[in-house]
Structure 1
Amino acid sequence: MVVPEEFPVGLDADWQAPGSVKIDCPYLKNWLLDTGSLTERLQSLCRHFELKLIGQKKQPLHTSEANWLNSSVPGEYQVREVVLMGDGAPWVFARSVIPEALIQSELGGLGCQPLGQRLFNDPRFRRGGFEVCRIPAQQWLNTQQPETLWGRRSRFYFDNLSMIVAEVFLPAAPVYNQE
């Protein structure tokens, strides 16, 4: 699968606690703070769901990621970036920071399988609280679209390991349609 060139790599945003950000739209707020599986929610809204893997490898973490994980060890994580597609439209860009120990065990061999399928079908994974961000579409996607994109991230815990799953809702995502 080829990922369109317009998708950025990386996600170094200004993450904030949901209570410190004004989210006027209840529908949007519901999407941002939904504790269920985003993958399952998206799959229920389309006929054809697809995950496009941008890449997964060891790479430096953004400062906010390292701080949130309380980690200063650069090689102990892999970064996985994907685009979740609904009926051929790019809906979500996701960046996950996964401990190498989990890649070697419970989360090995993900390939094009959604990470959420593993996390939400294994009761040993626990989700922590959310942070949210707003990103100007023009800046992030290098486009003329004036809207603001919304994102969320949370930590998942497995024994003494923690990981980050961050998701940005792209312009075609159903989060922006209140039908």
Structure 2
Amino acid sequence: MLIRPPSETWLAAPPRTRAPSHLIPWLTDPSSLTARIRARCEHVSVNLLSQGLASAVPDEATLLGLRPGERVWVREVLLLADGRPVVFARTLLPRGHVRGAWNLFHGFGARPLGAALFADRAISRAPLACARLDARDARYHRVRAALAAHAPSELVPREVWGRRSLFHRHHRALMVSEFFLPAIFDLPRCPTR
């Protein structure tokens, strides 16, 4: 199992000396990422990569208050803008939260989760955190594999930046992590609509 060294942690704000300046707005905007992408392209779609029980990585388990290696519901998707993958998203839901507060989780399939999260007034969002992942992190390899399988002509980066936060509904947490792929920078800076 790949484990991050202690110096590579999730931060409340991206370090301006290390994060590309054109990425900082994507990392720090607390609004719906799906809506932001939708405003910059003709069509947003979701490619469901996997959904089922899996183990959380150590920093995810810590944030969710889980025991190391505890299995959770994990949903991994690619967000596509006009057919190009721009974001790899990973959602984790503790097994005990599947029924009740987050029973909607199973019905999403290839639909964006963001629209539901931002439309439900019972859901609150914790502050964003961001991190840079590289080959020392298992999630980085998931991102690389998804990009290579679904867009073989796309350049696979040596590192990926991501953001994550907890969403709470009736005191039950769901974690969403979003990792930015190179094609995100090809989207227009200003909304097209």
TM-score scaled by length of structure 2: 0.74
Alignment of 1:38-49 (within 5 A): 38-49=33-44
Taking only aligned residues, the RMSD between alpha carbons, in angstroms, comes to 3.0
Distance 1:29 1:87, change over 3 A: same
The percent identity for this pair of structures is 32
Cα shift at 1:110: 1.1
Q: Could you say which residue in structure 2 is the equivalent of 1:18? A: 12
Gaps of 5+ in 2: 149-154
Of 126, 132, 135, 2:133 maps to 135
Cα shift at 1:129: 1.3
Distance 1:64 1:46, change over 3 A: same
8 Å contact 1:134–1:149 — kept in the other structure?
Answer: yes
8 Å contact 1:17–1:131 — kept in the other structure?
Answer: yes
1:64 and 2:59 aligned: yes
8 Å contact 2:41–2:187 — kept in the other structure?
Answer: no
Q: Could you say which residue in structure 1 is the equivalent of 2:121? A: 123
8 Å contact 2:40–2:187 — kept in the other structure?
Answer: no
Alignment of 1:78-157 (within 5 A): 78-104=73-99, 105-136=103-134, 140=141, 141=144, 145=156, 148-157=159-168
Deviation per CA, 1:26-82: give whole Å up to 9, x if none: x4222111111101111111112110000110111111111011112824x300000
TM-score scaled by length of structure 1: 0.79
Distance 1:47 1:128 in 2: 30
Q: Could you say which residue in structure 2 is the equivalent of 1:4? A: none
Gaps of 5+ in 1: 1-11
Distance 1:39 1:65 in 2: 22
Which stretch shows the higher mean deviation, 78-87 or 106-115? 106-115
Distance 2:58 2:159 in 1: 23
Q: Number of matched residues?
A: 167
